[in-house]
Amino acid sequence: MSNNYTPALATKTFQQDKELSKSYHGDSAAKRGGALAWLSKRKGDTQDFVVSEYMKNWKDVKDENERLDNYKDLTAHYYNLVTDFYEYGWGSSFHFSRYYKGEAFRQATARHEHYLAAKMGIDENMKVLDVGCGVGGPGREICRFTDCQIVGLNNNDYQIERANHYAQKYKLDHKLSYVKGDFMQMDFEPETFDAVYAIEATVHAPVLEGVYGEIYKVLKPGGVFGVYEWVMTDKYDENNPEHRKISYGIEVGDGIPKMYKNEVAKQAFLNVGFDIEYEKDLADVNDEIPWYYPLAGEWKHVQSLGDAYTIFRTSWLGRRVTTGAVGLLEKLGIAPKGSVQVTEALEDAAINLVEGGKQQLFTPMMLYIVRKPLDAGAEASAKSAKAVEQAMKAAAKH
């Protein structure tokens, strides 16, 4: 295969995904990450193809059904485009956190991951699945914190390469492994894992019963699932144009086929058979420093010199500087073509995430701790499968 991916070849199989990833990313997965990896991308038709394949999903707000059907490629293309930008601006853990006065950004990130593991009761004797593992930042931290064994599931080949690179670099590859797969159709044997977690990842599912049902299937009876879910809150009104604009802006800039309200997520857990043990919106606890502070660029929240650099990179001013620099590099042929379009989508997402947070219309950390019943047998599995089937049919009629 040539260095440039053939646009006529759609990413419908794992092998074709892998070929596209190799064509686009080359050997950049072994680079330091962030800006260095991004500048190492191969130039040519592949970048044009990936950008156009992603952006065509947003031709019109009415294309929601098409995005739901195309969730797999939508998500894969999105992370092909933004992974290096995320690592540059955020580090290797792609999620928000709660923040305290005097606490550094990376410390807060680790604490947020430790908190989830503690609430779930993960220990060194468990085999744990990380659904939508990204480049493995949370998995590495939870592994160090609990000494458990973790399998990361991801549908993006480049992120898996990055995750393996980090696991080997930090000598955690004996505890961490990564699998290419679709979280709506997991290939693991039923009742494989003692625990499953997902951090701001299952929002990419077209139907929540689909991914929750698969998690239910691969959990052992009595197993626990913990998730930080992205949802719209009870204050969100689908018929309010301003609210819908914010939700749509989050969808476009974050590769999400459809944002759902919290009530939809809660019902999805119950529909597939989980028992809900704990639920709390950690974005709605009156924290002095809001979860969206890194994107808001409010210097009053800076905690340290290192945080000042983070705030600058992710603030409005920093993002404009980055966009301008990217534009110049793209014109000079140093940066891949289409890079400005990607940074502008991320900029729009940031604006809408902050506005959604300020109006309390959106939360990135609706925490659920749910459990598969100990007596879950064939009858319960059949009920879960039926609930998933019904939800998928309902979504198809949407």
- 263-295 in b/e form (b: 16+ CB < 10 A) is ebbbbbbebbbbeeeeeebbbeeeeebbbbbbb
Cβ distance 145 to 114 under 8 Å?
yes
Q: Which among 177, 179, 156 is positioned nearest to 167, based on CA atoms?
A: 177
Residue 1 resides in a domain = no
- What pLDDT, on the 0 to 100 scale, is given for residue 2? 32
Instruction: Answer with the residue of higher pLDDT: 383 or 285.
Output: 285
Tokens of 186: 């997991």
pLDDT at position 65 is 73
Helix, strand or coil, per DSSP, at residue 12: coil
From 56-65, 168-177, 320-329, 343-352, the region with the lowest mean pLDDT: 56-65
Enumerate the H helices of the chain as residue ranges: 14-25, 35-39, 45-55, 64-69, 71-90, 105-120, 137-146, 157-169, 208-218, 241-254, 262-272, 293-296, 305-314, 316-331, 339-358, 378-397
Q: Is the dihedral of CA 350, 181, 392, 64 positive or negative?
A: positive
pLDDT recorded at residue 327? 75
Q: How far apart are CA 398 and CA 383, in angstroms?
A: 23
Given pLDDT bands bounded at 50, 70 and 90, which one contains residue 15? Answer: confident
Cβ distance 77 to 50 under 8 Å?
yes
Q: How sure is the predictor about 140, in pLDDT bands with cuts at 50, 70 and 90? A: very high
Which tokens is 94 given? Answer: 């792609």
Q: Look at residue 225 and tell me if it is in a domain.
A: yes
82 domain-assigned: yes
pLDDT tens-digit readout, 73-106: 778 878 887 888 788 878 899 999 999 988 888 9
User: Where is pLDDT greater, at 133 or 252?
Assistant: 133
Total number of domains in the chain = 1
Check residue 240 and give its pLDDT. Answer: 97
Which tokens go with 327? 């534009």
pLDDT, greater one: 39 or 161: 161
Q: To the nearest whole number, what is the mean pLDDT of the chain?
A: 84
* 5 pLDDT above the threshold of 60: no
Note the pLDDT of residue 244: 95
The confidence score (pLDDT) of residue 11 equals 44
The answer, yes or no, to whether residue 171 has pLDDT greater than 70, is: yes
Query: Does 274 score more than 80 pLDDT?
Result: yes
Q: What is the pLDDT of residue 337?
A: 67
- Give residue 55's pLDDT band: very low, low, confident or very high (50, 70, 90): confident
Between 149 and 47, where is the model more confident?
Answer: 149
Q: Is residue 100 a part of any domain in this protein?
A: yes
**CB count in 10 Å sphere of residue 331:** 11
Residue 314: which domain range? 6-398
Of the pLDDT bands very low, low, confident and very high (cuts 50, 70, 90), residue 396 is: low
Helix-strand-coil split of the chain, %, nearest 5:
55, 15, 30
**pLDDT on residue 73:** 79
Give domain status of residue 160, yes or no.
yes
Percent of the chain exceeding pLDDT 90 equals 54
Query: Which comes out higher in pLDDT, residue 269 or 296?
Result: 269
Q: Would the pLDDT of 393 be above 80?
A: no
Contacts with 326 (C-beta within 8 Å, 6 or more apart), sequence order = 335, 339, 340, 343
Its sign, for the CA torsion 100, 104, 105, 107, is: negative
Sheet (strand 176-180) strand order: 176-180, 149-154, 127-131, 193-199, 219-232, 362-371, 275-281
What value does the mean pLDDT take over residues 123-138? 97
CATH of the domain at 398: 3.40.50.150
Instruction: Assess contact for 274 and 216: CB atoms under 8 A.
Output: yes
Interval 285-325: pLDDT, tens: 999 999 998 888 776 767 666 667 666 766 667 777 777 77
Q: Are strands 193-199 and 176-180 parallel, antiparallel or unpaired?
A: unpaired
